[in-house]
Structure 1
Amino acid sequence: MAFVTANGISIHHRIEGRRGAPRLVLLNSLGSDLRIWADVADRLRDRFEILLVDKRGHGLTEATPGPYSIPLLAEDLTALLDALGWAKASIVGLSIGGLIAQHVAIHAPERVESLVLMDTAARIGEAQAWNDRIAAVQKSGVAAIGEAVASRWFSEAFPAEHPARFAAWRAMLEATPREGYAGACAAVRDADYRAEVPRIAAPVLAIVGDADKPTSPDLVKGTADLISGARFAVVDGAGHLPCLERPAEVAALIADHVEASRAATSATRFDAGMAVRRQVLGDAHVDRASAAITPFDAPFQRFITEGAWGSVWAGDRFTRRERSIVTIALLAALGQDEEVAMHVRATRNTGASAEDIAEALMHVAVYAGVPAANHAIKIAKKTYAEMEDAAR
């Protein structure tokens, strides 16, 4: 068992699957713990690195006095991701987990590669119903509502057809600390993302069991309709927790969505990087470089186009002129002669002047050594002379 202190509490989590593979976070429903994902995770472990999490007040994660809020639970998640060194991942959120996932996608979009919203919505239930449930739990514990809540997790026939499994999952629910369950109920009660979900930019798949009563197919589809490009899928023969009744179908939907989203993002970054590369280096240079690509260096060329040109050079923190100056100074300090000449030629397109580059090379002299700067100055002078001759 793994525990991390993050956002002021001890968080129980588990990492499974293939290390180094695309990362996937699975967020649980109200009253459940990370065990509900076991059958889904088993089907995904060969393709993903998977993070399973017990949210605040559930499973083995520390329970604090309520009420909780979705922003607080989202802070728990991002703090855990920071502690684990996970900069971003695809997030699957079930029920309240879907509200947490929505918050992260809206307020920390850089952390989310793609999003699966399962049996959830931008707004779930009415305040009075949540207040009644909170009062019952605070008075008598989760066991007081165990039968009623657990029966709504599944399709109508499930309890009679699988009595042992139903009893086990109900026991998990009833073991939830009352402060954790009531605190999370308050978070759901107070959450309303209907005005904000249209801002979600990550690729979204909304999934719902056809027999879901707490978040009906119409309710889930209504949230999906608010998000540009969101896809919607119904899992037949499942209630509110399809991961327990139809794990194979759920795993297939998740894998297909995440992998298709990653492929589309890669294609988009490559196209964006190629456009920036042409703008900076010029069509003639890029055409020559592209014509020289072989199967041996094709993966490297794609990496450079996506990573350097589609990410670093495509950022908006520096201007193209500033990036040009920084790049030439770094290349000069490292003695990369051919690259220095190439980027000096590129100043025709970036707006960096000869005076800018001369000043940058003075910094190289101070911080990287006079010989490195002197050598780069010779290369720059020769390149500028060739540029002038070509312009005549």
Structure 2
Amino acid sequence: MIIDIAGEPFNVHLDGPENAPVLMHSNSLSSDMSMWDAQVRAWQGQFRILRYDSRGHGGSVAPDRPYSIEELGRDAIAILDHFGIEKAHWCGLSKGGMVGMWMLTHAPERLGRVVLANTSAHMGPPELWNGRIRTARRGGMEALVDATVERWFTASFRERAPERIAAIRKMILGTPVQGYAGCCAAIRDMDQRWSIRSARNPVLVVVGAHDPATPPAAGQQIHEAIAGSKLVTLDAAHISNIEAEAAFNEVVGAFLRS
């Protein structure tokens, strides 16, 4: 469904029993809410699952300007407010994990248990992101899709799941260039390495053993910064909830239910 947040459209979806605990999913860069389809199938009997296309992605607003992690975090809070949800568990991957870290330090009372998957508190250097912005604006998402898929999944997964990869390529290619660029700027300018030390919510950090985008060391840094957090490593590259679907559903689901 399309909802209006301060005059801007956001594409959201609610699944699961109305009286169940709310779980909010936040997507990665270059994806949309469909990246969580397997988790919805696994968990919709236990949670009221709220998914949304992040600003710049899918069917949501995509203004042509730089965004910030704060702006993306305030979008998530506004969506919760729209539905009258005071508190929700959080499961975000990559960019979605970055938004989760911002909420942990700026709106912790709105969150219950928090999953930060395949993410980082800081991702330099700036030229990496400026280069991706230039590539997208010059060649569209077609110029980025091959390298993105290679970062997201191991070669063995790409070989054994060609239909999944084809669907994911289509999702990446459907990302608005201006939205991709705006979110690249948000990631480029983010540094949450010190602020997350104040987090007190229960946190599970998920890393992919073969993740070249947010490598295990990035997850370890988050784990060490957040007191009492848990760390789990899955046999996957960057999009672990798809490549290691069964293991992700098991360990993350157990954490969210505990």
TM-score by length of 1: 0.65
Larger Rg: 1
Give the equivalent residue in structure 2 for 1:83: 82
Give the equivalent residue in structure 2 for 1:127: 126
CA distance in 2, matches of 1:213, 1:88: 33
Report the 3-state secondary structure (helix = DSSP H, G, I; strand = E; otherwise coil) of the residue aligned with 2:251. helix
| Structure 1 position 201, deviation (Å) | 1.0
| Structure 1 position 179, deviation (Å) | 0.2
Q: CA RMSD in A?
A: 1.0
Contact 1:29–1:95 (CA under 8 A) maintained in structure 2: yes
Give the equivalent residue in structure 2 for 1:194: 193
The one-letter amino acid of 1:165's match is R
CA distance in 2, matches of 1:52, 1:35: 9
Give the equivalent residue in structure 2 for 1:52: 51
Report the 3-state secondary structure (helix = DSSP H, G, I; strand = E; otherwise coil) of the residue aligned with 1:157. helix
Give the equivalent residue in structure 1 for 2:39: 40
Contact 1:40–1:248 (CA under 8 A) maintained in structure 2: no
Give the equivalent residue in structure 1 for 2:116: 117
CA distance in 2, matches of 1:125, 1:243: 24
Give the equivalent residue in structure 2 for 1:172: 171
TM-score by length of 2: 0.97
CA distance in 2, matches of 1:96, 1:115: 14
Structure with more strand by fraction: 2
Give the equivalent residue in structure 1 for 2:152: 153
Q: Deviations over 1:114-134 (max 9, x none)?
A: 110000011123211111001
CA distance in 1, matches of 2:8, 2:197: 32
The one-letter amino acid of 2:251's match is L
CA distance in 1, matches of 2:251, 2:105: 23
Give the equivalent residue in structure 1 for 2:60: 61
Q: Deviations over 1:60-111 (max 9, x none)?
A: 1121112111001111111111001111101111001011111111101110
Contact 1:93–1:100 (CA under 8 A) maintained in structure 2: yes
Alignment of 1:201-240 (within 5 A): 201-236=200-235, 238-240=236-238
Structure with more helix by fraction: 1
Moved more, 82-91 or 244-253: 244-253
Give the equivalent residue in structure 1 for 2:253: 255
The one-letter amino acid of 1:78's match is I
CA distance in 1, matches of 2:169, 2:63: 23
* Unpaired runs of at least 5, structure 2: none
Q: Deviations over 1:268-288 (max 9, x none)?
A: xxxxxxxxxxxxxxxxxxxxx
Alignment of 1:347-362 (within 5 A): none
Contact 1:67–1:182 (CA under 8 A) maintained in structure 2: yes
* Unpaired runs of at least 5, structure 1: 261-392
Q: Percent identity?
A: 36
